Structure 1
């Protein structure tokens, strides 16, 4: 599955368009490598997302095409979730 789609389905990012924007801005990494929106993910991969004032690192536990909102958190395990000092103002999602 593509990383932009996985981020949307897992609800790590609210919208797929935002996931693509983050990838285009080189703010998404898989296993410590910067990736484009079309990069494929696999179970066991570690995803790092940096946007707004957040840094989130998650390990992929499952990949599913469709999940209910209540099940989305079972697709990954959060390894790190921290706030950053410097804010990336251009990529802040006001809805979060």
Structure 2
């Protein structure tokens, strides 16, 4: 699944266009590297999202959208 789509489906970021803007401005790191919106997300990847007022780190558990199943686990939020 694309990074921007994962962020939107998992509700980490509410809109896909906003997720794309975050990626393009370098606010999202995937496994320690700045990622593009089209980067592939795999289970086990660590995403770091800089919201400006806080940085959230999550580990991807699944890329399949199965309703209420949790797609990620939060590692840290500062």
TM range (shorter): over 0.9
1:49-78 Cα offsets, whole Å, 9 max, x none, are 0023120100000111x443xx15x10000
Q: In the alignment, which residue of structure 2 is the partner of 1:79?
A: 75
Q: In the alignment, which residue of structure 2 is the partner of 1:19?
A: 19
Unaligned runs of 5+ in 2: none
Task: Detail structure 1 runs of 4+ shifted over 6 Å in the superposition.
Answer: none
Cα distance in 1, alignment partners of residues 8 and 45 from structure 2? 16
TM-score (norm 2): 0.93
Bigger radius of gyration = 1
Where in structure 2 are the equivalents of 1:1-96 lying within 5 Å? 1-64=1-64, 66-68=65-67, 71=68, 74-82=70-78
Q: Which has the larger strand fraction?
A: 1
Q: Across the two proteins, how many residue pairs are aligned to each other?
A: 78
Cα distance in 2, alignment partners of residues 67 and 8 from structure 1? 14
Cα distance in 2, alignment partners of residues 52 and 17 from structure 1? 18
- Residue 2 of structure 1: how far off its partner (Å): 0.5
Unaligned runs of 5+ in 1: 83-96
